[in-house]
Amino acid sequence: MDTATPTITKASRMIKRGELTPIELLETSLARIKQFEPEVAAWVTIDEVGARATAKKLTEEAVKGRIRSPLHGITVGVKDIFYTRGLQTTMGSPLYTGYVPDFDATVVAQLRELGAIILGKTHTTEFASHDPAPTRNPWNITHTPGGSSSGSAAAVAAGMISLAIGTQTGGSVIRPAAYCGIVGVKPTYDLLSRDGIYPLSWSLDHVGLFTRNVEDAAIALSALTDQKAPHSLKSPPRIGIPDRFFNEKTDRDSSEGYTKAVGLLERTGAKIIPFKLPNSFDLAPSVHRVIMSAEAATIHERLFKTRADGYRPYIRGQVVSGLQINATTYIKAQRIAGRYRKDFEEAIKPFDAVATPSTTSSAPKGLEWTGDPALNSPWSLAGFPTITIPTNLSDKGLPLGLQLASPSETDSALFSVARWCEGKLNFRDSPVTTQ
């Protein structure tokens, strides 16, 4: 019998009909956590007392017919760089152990108002950079779940919760979602508020969502914004395929998985159209690196002066290198980024979506590295919305994903394409370690 927490779509319908209470849904999540958390290690903090008090209140409201939103009673995991009132927020760093904010990040406050139950804080890499969290991939606990939103992705994949929030500066939503075989959404830059989140890079940080299917992600994003619910496509989508870079970066498993997925979409009606990436695209990786390093150094400069020994190797190196970047270099990088966004948007405008592999490989073995964000960073630099949906399994039995993207502020239309593709790809596998 499947003991996983039900999807948002299913749970929301059952709560509205009185077939399930928020209290019962919470207990399902807690039982699932108790069963699989020792191996997966998705959570820094679990707020059982606070969650039960909230569930009791929401159940009383539901009994009286008051349903705040489709997220009423839904259990949520929050990446541990979002400030949470009265709940420890560590940033994945020993420097913040025991730090308890007295206010909520805007997105957390929105979730509470919508009737979601904040169950606890999920593991992040240190300061949302690359130094790994202890979290393991539910598909195979000897492999990374990806980062930096490691715990958020793993908790959803393991069926502990139906919704988690995270952030992406390079590839920190799309990559872990793909590695863990779930849906990850990085909306248009600033569509979801970054207020009350410990930043890594102001120009590049995005708030993102993790769910088990596209419909759940659409429900969550619609509740948090004024975005319209995605419509059903009247005709198969026009999908652009980049002429270079993305498939060149992948290993055999990822390349073959991508080719199979695109082939299936084409056979079922999608118009697959190759296109040429703009010349400015070639500068994207170095421009992204300059902006992220310079802004990270600015954010950490004061603390780093007195507590450098408290930083782990990667974030320490990132701050040190960022402090060497002068204002002229940073300003040039931002100007190039502006031109790149315009060129890139023009190149992909003719399509309903662009499709690439989500990651360069399936989840790497070992917990010392969270994987390569090379296929995600170009979209983070552009600020365009992206969605990853699971497609198939690699030869190692690990999930692979398809990354779909479109121009800024076309999130709802992108969801429509993603939902169409999800239906054709029909991925039904789940982690054997949590069955």
CB 399 within 8 A of CB 216: no
H/E element, 58 = helix 48-63
Give 267-317 as a 3 state SS string.
HCCCEEEEECCCHHHHHHHHHHHHHHHHHHHHHHHHHHHHHHHHCCHHHHH
User: What is the identity of the amino acid at 421?
Assistant: C
Q: Is the sign of the CA dihedral 330, 377, 231, 238 positive or negative?
A: positive
Please say if 29 is a catalytic residue: no
Neighbours of 38 (CB within 10 A): 8
- Decide if 148 is catalytic: yes
Task: Determine whether 172 is an active site residue.
Answer: yes
Which residue is catalytic, options 12, 129, 172, 416? 172
Q: Which residues are 239's β-sheet partners?
A: 272, 353
Angle at the Cα of 330 from the Cα atoms of 341 and 244, rounded to 5 degrees: 40
91 close to 127: Cβ distance less than 8 angstroms:
yes
Distance of CA 86 to the CA centre of its chain: 25
| Active-site entry in 148, 201, 406, 416 | 148
Q: How far apart are CA 12 and CA 27, in angstroms?
A: 16
What tokens were used for 330? Answer: 């940073």
Structure tokens at 113: 């108002």
In three-state secondary structure terms, 427 is coil
CB neighbour class for 97 (10 Å; exposed up to 12, middle 13-18, buried from 19): exposed
In which order are the strands placed within the sheet that holds 271-275? Answer: 43-46, 117-122, 75-79, 163-168, 206-211, 183-186, 386-393, 399-405, 353-357, 238-242, 271-275
Residues designated as active site: 79, 148, 172
